Structure 1
């Protein structure tokens, strides 16, 4: 018989991301972040390739990336509303962990498995931050894939991109509950 962990199950059944715009300081310091990063690095990783890595973006880096977001948004001819929303993703934030997808050449482990592992890292970081008492949110947006932004702003290699920016801070308001999936509509049971 399995040994249940009711506290962990209750956490998973009630977890709720906090909108990034509602997070403020204080933010976790390096000592607070180490267990969160450690939990993220315990993600399933077929072949032990570590096809991901972390960039911790502190306040000054967030401000620099906000300016780059506005510059690149204008170069890409985005409308003002899109530029402002993208800009604020960094400008109004104090801390984020950029999860870099960094697939490795492998005959054994397909690229898609490595990319799924990087996505799992994002959820692990998000859950670890929430379990540690912080507010957290997983965002991406075009700044996760725009090659010029990634090269200039984060010095990523050509094969790398951002799987997610995990914003972490102090929760300033309780988020409203949102509709959840209808399990009957998304679940098929197969017994043959």
Structure 2
């Protein structure tokens, strides 16, 4: 699949199974993330990998966070089971570095670009994934449990594996609905 075809047909897959990317395939995914735009060369990324039983540990962290929020028991259980929807979960965080030139938002955007590049690299290799966010990525308890501090910010969880379903083609979109030429 060529690069333009990959980008134009980008899609998320919610049903993932073994095998997950490993070895050279996983290395390629990380290397794609490390090529994200990076104003100032700060490399403000961290990729935290959860595989096997580590997904259960992540689920416990998310369930505890849901309990602390006062969520109903069904939502706590849903949070606990969330990381088990894929054989591999990668938390992507912006490790915000002090900079007079590069504000935290730019560093967070860079981490978001890294996450998307990683998803695209997975898809290019025959795997797929889904970028999951939600309240978890802003929860300070979750941040602390994952070793984040200060201005660090989770930008999402990348669920990766082999697609279990044929993903439907996304609808075509008319760029004219989203593009405005200044001065016209």
Pairwise same-fold verdict (TM > 0.5): yes
Tell whether the 8 Å contact from 1:97 to 1:165 is kept in structure 2 after alignment.
yes
1:47-103 superposed Cα distances (whole Å, 9 cap, x missing partner): 000111111111211111112222221221113443343333213332111111111
Corresponding position of 1:90? 83
Structure 1: gaps of 5 or more residues: 1-5
Q: Which segments of structure 1 move beyond 4 Å, counting only runs of 4 or more?
A: none
RMSD: 1.9
Match of 1:163 among 132, 152, 155: 155
Match of 1:75 among 62, 65, 68: 68
Match of 1:12 among 2, 7, 30: 7
Residue 183 of structure 1, CA deviation:
2.0
Structure 2: gaps of 5 or more residues: none
1:3-52 superposed Cα distances (whole Å, 9 cap, x missing partner): xxx92112211121111xx1011111233211110011001101000111
Query: How many pairs were matched up?
Result: 184
| Residues 1:93 and 1:10: Cα distance change in structure 2 (over 3 Å) | closer
Tell whether the 8 Å contact from 1:101 to 1:160 is kept in structure 2 after alignment.
yes
1:156-181 superposed Cα distances (whole Å, 9 cap, x missing partner): 22322211111110111012234454
